[in-house]
């Protein structure tokens, strides 16, 4: 059978090849192709069974079918964990994901949103950087559909999918307490970010509910600019207190990885010398000689919900979706479970 | 609502359009706009809810100040570090970076390509997933400046940044031999990708140069669709009695980490029972009980050079050829080194 060309389709409909090309490339709206004409072109393409290549897929939808995903830092394991889920769900719904990374900089965050909005992605999924409230408020005023994921600003009402960080941290702390730990250190970032502060709040409240004193020296705060050094200092400090700690609860997997590295260096054994619990798991843990007990965020569910919520918004449904999911505790041996 | 523009804001504040533009583009420090003035401009923008239309701007300069990257897989450590380096370098030149992940799939690569071009990027940095030049012809037909990274296609009419994969693989294998390992195994993917084939060539040549016969039983090539199973059964096969290898060279950090996990699980002691070397570094290695000997690609440099090359290309489109950067080799204790 003779292979059809763009020209044949154009001739059949009675339009220029340029118009057919625009429709094929999902640029019908941008290039202001008349709606009826676009429809006739698409009908012809189907009728004539013309398939130039993969671009034909965008034919079915008249939009560019892209989701802009702005992550906080491409280096974060969490970012890559959730992106897997988002990509997979987007693919099922025939959307391509294009990324930007804000590197925790609110100016970069703003720039990326501009780029995506001006280039007409269909919607945005955002992991907002610290201090980006203004950008989020500006977005709300615009018409662009968006969903926040992982981090939220409690004073701004948006659609979001996040974890109940307070509950997860409370549960994990309680787990340590029930195993008999009495002087638990909690190592977190010095931050204004709500989701991280909630982890500290959960920790404190669990201690207080179980009538354990909260020694501020057991809550060192890490500056991300000086990560490795700060973590080492923090661990040194909590180990050398008059009444040293018997467990360390790290607020993120990155903090845990640095912590374990340092404990290795100091030849301190887990759980023999000290127990360790991590908020967030990591593949890296599996290289450690002791399986690390950690709370596990439902990343797949979060990613899936984010995509589906966004696409509902894109399709003009009126939504009010504020979801806080629960984390499970994956039990290893790092809290002395087998003793 | 009346759309306000630069001129209106400048008039309102009694300053030049240029000054307003500098503040809008984040160049106020460079251009020495006083912080008081900058503050007033920002206030005015906020008040008038001005949104700079990037595309309108670009119609004037015909550039959008955006660079697109197509990575092979966003979950590779290689990707995260190279993209980070590219972003940092682009920031110096006022470019924003957006990217897509092809997941080693040629069709997806083309889809992302189309999306990025549709989004009017000024240039592309691509990590290709195909050995045939089909994708290169596609890129050329779009008349967009592009730089290829990591996997080197045939042809001198291109701009490429890469490393010498064969050489680093040779070093990794040679190190295992020099540390007393005689039955050195090789673990990689079943693949046609040039950079991985080069790593195999390095392994083979190193053994040949050491007068060690190549044993096909010691060469394990995994189907990435069945990754975990593949690694595990590969390790099982290598350590089977009678075939026992005493050293393993892993061609990627992903394979190395999965293999080490399994060795851990099975209680196989490194380096006592088997020595290991990984071509690439992993952030997981420091958690292992011995420092892992590994190669280290100059990831930051790769990103920086790629950007510089691309910006030159955007300026004037003459191909820059293949820039081959040097890798380093980090000796740990996973081969029984003293």
Residue A79 is predicted with a pLDDT of 59
Q: What is the mean pLDDT of residues A96-123?
A: 91
Lowest mean pLDDT among B82-96, B117-131, B169-183: B117-131
- The continuous run of DSSP H or E covering A178 comes out as helix A165-178
Q: Do A141 and B53 touch (CB under 8 A)?
A: no
Q: Which of A119, A270, A290, A294 to mutate to test the interface with B (most CBs of B within 10 A)?
A: A119
Regarding the domain delimited by A6-60, which CATH topology (the fold level of the hierarchy) does it fall under? 434 Repressor (Amino-terminal Domain) (1.10.260)
Query: Can you give the pTM of this predicted structure?
Result: 0.80
The confidence score (pLDDT) of residue B62 equals 52
CB atoms within 10 A of CB B60: 7
Q: Which positions in chain A touch B254 (Cβ < 8 Å)?
A: none
Query: B211: how many CB neighbours lie within 10 A of its CB?
Result: 7
Residue range B6-59 forms a domain whose CATH class is mainly alpha
Does any CB of chain A come closer than 8 Å to the CB of residue B24? no
Quick: pLDDT tens for A31-79: 778 888 888 888 888 777 765 543 344 333 334 589 999 998 887 666 5
- Residue in B45, B56, B68, B98 to test binding to A, most A beta-carbons within 10 Å: B98
Is the predicted ipTM greater than 0.85, yes or no? no
Opening angle at CA A72, ends A66 and A78, nearest 5: 95
Q: What percent of chain B has pLDDT over 90?
A: 63
Task: State how far residue B294 is from chain A, nearest Cα, in angstroms.
Answer: 15
Give the number of residues written for chain B: 338
Asked if A116 and B98 come within 8 Å (Cβ–Cβ), the reply is: yes
Query: Distance (Å, rounded) from C-alpha B294 to C-alpha B248?
Result: 12
- Whether residue B96 and residue A101 make contact (CB cut-off 8 A), yes or no, is no
Per-residue pLDDT, B249: 98
Whether A266 shows a pLDDT value over 50: the answer reads yes
Q: Tell me the C-alpha distance between B68 and B124, whole Å.
A: 5
Using a CB-CB cut-off of 8 Å, the residues of chain B touching A101 are: 83-84, 87, 97
Q: Tell me, yes or no, if the two domains B62-162+298-325 and B165-297 fold the same way.
A: yes
Out of A53-67, A266-280, B81-95, B185-199, pick the least confident: A53-67
pLDDT tens, A180-196?
999 999 999 999 899 99
CATH class entry, domain B165-297: alpha beta
CA distance A210 to chain B (A): 33
| A255 compared with B5, residue with greater pLDDT | A255
Least confident of A163-167, B10-14, B283-287: B10-14
The string of DSSP codes covering B12-77 is: HHTS-HHHHHHHHTT-TTTTT--HHHHHHHHHHHHHHT----HHHHHHHHS---EEEEEES-TTSH
Task: Choose among A296, A214, A220: nearest CA to A258.
Answer: A220
Taking the C-alpha atoms of residue B222 and residue B225, their distance in angstroms, rounded to an integer, is: 9
Query: Distance between CA A158 and CA A138 in Å, rounded?
Result: 12
User: What pLDDT does B50 receive?
Assistant: 47
Chain A CB within 8 Å of residue B225 CB: no
| The pairing of beta strand B247-250 with beta strand B184-189 | parallel
Query: What is the residue-averaged pLDDT of chain A?
Result: 88
* Options 3.40.50.2300, 3.30.360.10, 3.10.20.90, 3.40.50.2020; CATH of B62-162+298-325: 3.40.50.2300
B54 near A CB under 8 A = yes
Nearest CA in chain A to B83: A74
CB B42 within 8 A of CB B74: no
The tokens describing A301, both together, are 């569910």
What would the CATH number be for the domain defined by A165-297?
Answer: 3.40.50.2300
Q: For chain A, say whether B92 makes contact (Cβ under 8 Å).
A: no
How is residue A244 written in tokens?
A: 């040293």
Strand segments (E) across B82-173:
96-101, 123-126, 146-149, 159-163
- Tell me the pLDDT of chain B averaged across its residues: 89
Closest Cα partner for B224 from B182, B181, B193?
Answer: B193
CB-CB neighbors (< 8 A) of A118 in chain B: 53-55
- Enumerate the β-bridge partners of residue A330: A294
List beta partners, residue B67: B97, B123
CB contact under 8 A, A66 and B115: yes
Domain boundaries, chain B: 6-59, 62-162+298-325, 165-297
CA-nearest residue of chain B to A26?
B118
Listed in order, the ranges of chain A carrying CATH 3.40.50.2300 are: 64-163+299-326, 165-297
Beta-carbon neighbour count of residue A273 at 10 Å? Answer: 12
So what's the pLDDT on residue A201? 97
Residue of A107, A112, A116 lying closest to B26 (CB–CB): A107
pLDDT at A53: 44
DSSP B152: P
**pLDDT at residue B131 greater than cutoff 90:** no
Residues 64-93 (A) with a CB less than 8 A from some CB of B: 64, 66, 68, 74-75, 80, 83-84, 87
pLDDT in tens, B291-332: 999 999 999 999 999 999 999 999 888 999 999 999 999 999
Give the other-Cβ count within 10 Å of A211's Cβ.
7
A257 closest CB neighbour out of B81, B119, B287? B287
Interchain contact B276–A (C-beta under 8 A): no
Kindly list the residues from chain A whose CB atom is less than 8 angstroms away from the CB atom of residue B87.
101, 103
Chain A neighbors of B83, CB-CB under 8 A? 74, 101
When pLDDT is averaged across residues B239-256 and rounded to a whole number, the result is 89
- Which pLDDT belongs to residue A62? 36
Give the pLDDT confidence score for residue A54 in this predicted structure: 37
Q: Tokens 């890296």 correspond to what residue?
A: A284
What is the predicted pLDDT for the residue at A206? 97
pLDDT surpassing 50 at residue A109: yes
pLDDT confidence of residue A76: 62
Give residue A3's pLDDT: 57
Whether chain B has a CB inside 8 Å of the CB on A228: the answer is no
Element (H, E) at B276: strand B275-278
* Token pair belonging to A323: 């979801």
Determine the pLDDT at residue B56: 44
For A:138-197, CB contacts with B below 8 A are 141-142
> Which pLDDT value is given to residue B243?
64
- Which is the CATH superfamily of the domain at A64-163+299-326? Response regulator (3.40.50.2300)
**Higher pLDDT residue, A90 or B43?**
A90
């Amino acid at each position: 059978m003779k292979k059809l060309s763009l020209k044949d389709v154009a001739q059949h409909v009675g339009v220029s090849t340029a118009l057919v090309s625009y429709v094929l490339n999902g640029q019908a709206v941008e290039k202001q192709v008349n709606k009826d004409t676009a429809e006739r072109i698409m009908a012809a393409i189907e009728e004539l069974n013309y398939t130039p290549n993969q671009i034909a897929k965008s034919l079915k939808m008249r939009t560019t079918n892209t989701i802009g995903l702005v992550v906080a830092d491409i280096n974060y394991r969490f970012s890559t964990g959730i992106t897997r889920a988002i990509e997979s769900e987007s693919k099922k719904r025939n959307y391509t994901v294009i990324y930007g990374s804000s590197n925790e900089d609110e100016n970069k965050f703003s720039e990326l949103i501009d780029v995506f909005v001006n280039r007409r992605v269909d919607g945005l999924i955002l992991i907002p950087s610290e201090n980006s409230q203004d950008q989020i408020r500006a977005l709300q005023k615009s018409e662009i559909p968006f969903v926040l994921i992982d981090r939220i600003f409690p004073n701004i009402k948006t659609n979001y999918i996040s974890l109940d960080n307070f509950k997860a941290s409370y549960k994990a702390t309680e787990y340590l307490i029930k195993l008999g730990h009495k002087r638990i250190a909690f190592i977190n970032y010095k931050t204004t970010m709500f989701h991280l502060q909630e982890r500290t709040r959960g920790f404190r409240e669990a201690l207080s509910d179980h009538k354990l004193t909260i020694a501020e020296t057991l809550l060192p705060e890490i500056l991300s600019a000086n990560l490795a050094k700060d973590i080492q200092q923090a661990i040194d400090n909590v180990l050398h207190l008059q009444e040293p700690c018997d467990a360390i609860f790290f607020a993120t997997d990155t903090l845990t990885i640095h912590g374990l590295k340092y404990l290795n260096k100091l030849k301190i054994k887990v759980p023999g010398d000290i127990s360790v619990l991590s908020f967030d798991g990591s593949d890296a843990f599996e290289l450690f000689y002791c399986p690390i007990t950690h709370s596990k965020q439902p990343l797949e569910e979060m990613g899936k919900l984010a995509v589906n919520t966004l696409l509902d918004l894109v399709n003009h449904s009126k939504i009010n979706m504020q979801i806080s999911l629960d984390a499970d505790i994956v039990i290893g041996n790092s809290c002395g479970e087998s003793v | 609502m009346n759309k306000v523009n630069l001129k209106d804001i400048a008039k309102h504040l009694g300053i030049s359009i240029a000054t307003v533009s500098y503040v809008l583009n984040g160049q106020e420090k460079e251009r020495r706009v006083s912080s008081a003035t900058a503050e007033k401009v920002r206030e005015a923008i906020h008040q008038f809810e001005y949104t700079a239309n990037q595309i309108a701007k670009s119609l004037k300069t015909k550039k959008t100040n955006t660079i697109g990257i197509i990575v092979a897989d966003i979950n590779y450590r290689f990707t995260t570090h190279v993209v980070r380096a590219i972003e940092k370098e682009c920031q110096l030149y006022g470019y924003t970076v957006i990217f897509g992940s092809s997941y080693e799939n040629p069709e997806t690569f083309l889809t992302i390509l189309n999306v990025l071009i549709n989004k009017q990027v000024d240039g592309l940095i691509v990590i290709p997933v195909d050995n045939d030049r089909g994708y290169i012809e596609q890129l050329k037909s779009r008349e967009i400046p592009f730089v290829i990274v990591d996997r080197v296609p045939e042809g001198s009419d291109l701009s490429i940044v890469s490393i010498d994969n064969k050489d680093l693989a040779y070093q990794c294998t040679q190190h295992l031999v020099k540390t007393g390992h005689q039955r050195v195994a090789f673990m990689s993917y079943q693949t046609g990708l040039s950079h991985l084939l080069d790593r195999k060539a390095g392994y083979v040549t190193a053994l040949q140069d050491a007068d060690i016969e190549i044993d096909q039983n010691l060469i394990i090539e995994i189907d990435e669709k069945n990754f975990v199973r593949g690694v595990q059964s590969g390790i099982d096969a290598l350590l089977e009695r009678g075939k026992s290898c005493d050293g393993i060279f892993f061609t990627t950090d992903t394979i190395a980490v999965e293999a080490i996990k399994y060795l851990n699980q099975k209680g196989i002691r490194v380096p006592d029972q088997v020595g290991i070397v990984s071509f690439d570094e992993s952030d997981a290695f420091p958690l292992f009980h011995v420092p892992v000997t590994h190669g280290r690609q100059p990831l930051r440099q790769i990103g920086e050079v790629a950007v510089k090359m691309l910006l030159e290309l955007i300026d004037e489109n003459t191909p820059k050829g293949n820039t081959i950067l040097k890798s380093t080799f980090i000796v740990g204790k996973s081969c029984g080194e003293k």
